[in-house]
Structure 1
Amino acid sequence: MTTPVSGIPGTPGGYVVFGPLANCTLDVCPIEWSVYKYRPSIAANSVFIALFAISISIHAFLGFRWRQWNFMTLMIFGCLVEIGGYAGRLVLYNNPFSFGGFMDQIVLITIAPPALFYWIFIPLDIVCLILQAAGGAISVVSSGGSQTGVDIAMTGLGLQVGGLFFFSALFVDYVARYVRKKPSSPLGTRMRVFLGFLGAAILLIFTRCVYRCYELSKGYVDSNLITDQGLFIGLEGVLVVIASFCLCIGHPGLIFGRDEPKAISLHTFDESTNVESTN
């Protein structure tokens, strides 16, 4: 059987390997002709679906406990989108040439992480989501052959990386300034847990976004990373799952409690903690 030229939509014999009209199956086409050139792991993707489902349960419980309705809703939404994406990868196990399964997972898994950080530069995150979704939609309409769709999605990912980097710099600067100016009033345990796990989640999502930017920089078909399943599992699935559980441990309810005050600082939180401890 003749190997097709990389990235073309058709093969000898009239088989279409990629796009809405794809009619290849593993019975008539080799796995090497598919975009990923591998069958997504049932075990890995099923584990990710289960872990995100567990994360949903935990965030629902904590959301009701602390009355953090907005945070709970966005976390649950983000995890549901991740589950939808990994369900698409299970479809690709049965048929690696399924265009619907491919676009389902490439769009949903790409846009899900921004929804996990609703309080971080909300306008920028909205723009990132719109760009990534628009890029995926253009790719669907063009049967995956539009470089414009890839470029738009890349712009969304790039903005997300830049936004997270800028936020992280401000985050570190604020904490460092506070610690230097208030050496006699160290951070309380709750604040340390919150800031520590929030910082870890941001770092994990930042690393994931850098990986996805590089992965998609050569498009959906010609990227040398898109065919590496181990790298995808490690730098996409594992990092985002850990980030979702980091936000369970470092939940905003630890700091904001059930009353959801409009504004709070490290200084006011520590002062209230010290007052309570002396009474």
Structure 2
Amino acid sequence: MSSPNLFKVCRHVSPDCPVESSIYGYYPSLGGNAFFLAWFAAMLVVNTLLGIKFKRWAYMTAVSLGCISEVIGYAGRVILHKNPYSKAGFDMQIVCLVIAPAFFAAGIYLMLKHLTLFFGPSDSPINPRLYTWIFISCDVVSLILQGAGGGISATADSYATQRSGNNVALAGIVFQVFTLLVFAGMAGLYCYRRQQRLKGHSKHEEDADAPETTRNVQVYIFSLIFAYLCILTRCSYRIAEMAGGWRNPIMLSETYFMVCDGAMIALSTATMIFCHPGLYFA
């Protein structure tokens, strides 16, 4: 595999600087990246309007920051389509597309507190109000690591420095996956404890004590699980991509990126917005 010319004087594709020697080794798809740019811009508008309508300020802020990061990141990839050696385009996408899912994960974390309070806090292993503090704090740590790693990679002037940035960002994503798994464990424990308690109730008592049996709340819970799985899939892909180092086969495949990152986060975002918590909870 040829070594990329990222750190020699290459400003545009030329006979001395072929596209194959650029950081990703290809021209990013104009159509695909422009689609995701427009998609997240539209989601940003819809999310803002719903957030204002339902006064879900924290949720609106988290999801909006994710959408803004995605828009900037895909704008960077559009720039890279025009010039695969564009430093501005590389910087925009390496930082923003790496950190964006952390904001969407924060939106999901915010809802565990509300769900436990809605269904009844007695089955929660900890005070429901601590969920937000614990998981958002962990999300901030992963966000800092990913942002720092992306920043180091974006400003690197040597391969060693770039590898260091990659490793820092990788640590942030691994920590994010760990946080997602702990979150799933806490949610699962709450559901288990609740189901165990409801086993001792009569059918009438169970129906009265289980608002989750209503169709709307069931739809919301399944939408949250789907969004969670999409984010987890994306993070798992990024771990595999970054663990292989720069210009490994996964990183050099735009198909993998479009499906495992772009599509996963687009589906997660659409689910979180069109199944907005304001539609289900007062």
- Same fold by TM-score greater than 0.5: yes
Q: Is the CA contact 2:80–2:86 (under 8 Å) kept in the aligned structure 1?
A: yes
Q: Is the CA contact 1:197–1:249 (under 8 Å) kept in the aligned structure 2?
A: no
Q: Is the CA contact 2:101–2:231 (under 8 Å) kept in the aligned structure 1?
A: yes
Q: Is the CA contact 1:194–1:249 (under 8 Å) kept in the aligned structure 2?
A: no
Q: Is the CA contact 1:131–1:155 (under 8 Å) kept in the aligned structure 2?
A: yes
Identity %: 33
Structure 1 counterpart SS, 2:98: helix
TM-score by length of 1: 0.81
Query: Shift of the alpha carbon at 1:102?
Result: 1.5
User: Partner letter of residue 7 of structure 1?
Assistant: S
Q: Is the CA contact 2:6–2:85 (under 8 Å) kept in the aligned structure 1?
A: yes
1:175-213: per-residue Cα shift (whole Å, max 9, x none)? 243244336224122321221111111110001001001
Q: Is the CA contact 2:33–2:74 (under 8 Å) kept in the aligned structure 1?
A: yes
Q: Identify the range of structure 1 (191-200 vs 152-161) with the bigger mean alpha-carbon deviation.
A: 191-200
1:61-105: per-residue Cα shift (whole Å, max 9, x none)? 211221101111221111011000000001111111222212211
1:11-43: per-residue Cα shift (whole Å, max 9, x none)? xxxxxx314843342465322111212111111
Counterpart mapping for 1:246-257 below 5 A: 246-257=271-282
1:205-238: per-residue Cα shift (whole Å, max 9, x none)? 001001001101122x332211101110000000
Q: Is the CA contact 2:94–2:154 (under 8 Å) kept in the aligned structure 1?
A: no
CA distance in 2, matches of 1:182, 1:255: 23
User: Partner letter of residue 63 of structure 2?
Assistant: M
User: Partner letter of residue 80 of structure 1?
Assistant: I
Give the structure 2 partner of residue 206 of structure 1. 232
Q: Is the CA contact 1:20–1:99 (under 8 Å) kept in the aligned structure 2?
A: no
1:120-141: per-residue Cα shift (whole Å, max 9, x none)? 2100110011111111222233
User: Partner letter of residue 110 of structure 1?
Assistant: V
Counterpart selection for 2:191 from 151, 175, 180: 175
Cα pair distance change 1:65/1:198, threshold 3 Å: same
Structure 1 counterpart SS, 2:106: coil
Counterpart selection for 1:228 from 245, 249, 253: 253
User: Partner letter of residue 234 of structure 2?
Assistant: R
Cα pair distance change 1:198/1:20, threshold 3 Å: farther
Counterpart selection for 2:33 from 45, 56, 70: 45
Cα pair distance change 1:244/1:144, threshold 3 Å: farther
Give the structure 1 partner of residue 42 of structure 2. 54
Give the structure 2 partner of residue 217 of structure 1. 243
Q: Is the CA contact 1:190–1:255 (under 8 Å) kept in the aligned structure 2?
A: yes
Is 1:135 matched up with 2:149?
yes
Cα pair distance change 1:103/1:195, threshold 3 Å: same
Counterpart selection for 2:18 from 30, 55, 73: 30
Q: Is the CA contact 2:66–2:104 (under 8 Å) kept in the aligned structure 1?
A: yes
Query: Shift of the alpha carbon at 1:240?
Result: 0.1
- Matched pairs, number: 244
Counterpart mapping for 1:1-279 below 5 A: 6-7=2-3, 17-19=5-7, 21-26=9-14, 28-118=16-106, 120=109, 121-143=135-157, 145=159, 146=161, 147-182=163-198, 184-185=206-207, 186=210, 187=212, 188-219=214-245, 221-257=246-282
Cα pair distance change 1:53/1:109, threshold 3 Å: same
Cα pair distance change 1:55/1:179, threshold 3 Å: farther
Query: Shift of the alpha carbon at 1:173?
Result: 2.9
Q: Is the CA contact 2:105–2:231 (under 8 Å) kept in the aligned structure 1?
A: no
TM-score by length of 2: 0.80
Q: Is the CA contact 1:20–1:100 (under 8 Å) kept in the aligned structure 2?
A: no
Query: Shift of the alpha carbon at 1:151?
Result: 1.1
CA distance in 1, matches of 2:56, 2:31: 33
Please report the RMSD computed on the Cα atoms of aligned residues, expressed in angstroms.
1.9
CA distance in 1, matches of 2:229, 2:18: 39
CA distance in 2, matches of 1:198, 1:148: 35
Query: Shift of the alpha carbon at 1:150?
Result: 1.3
Structure 1 counterpart SS, 2:78: helix
User: Partner letter of residue 253 of structure 1?
Assistant: G
Higher helix fraction (1 or 2): 2
Structure 1 counterpart SS, 2:189: helix
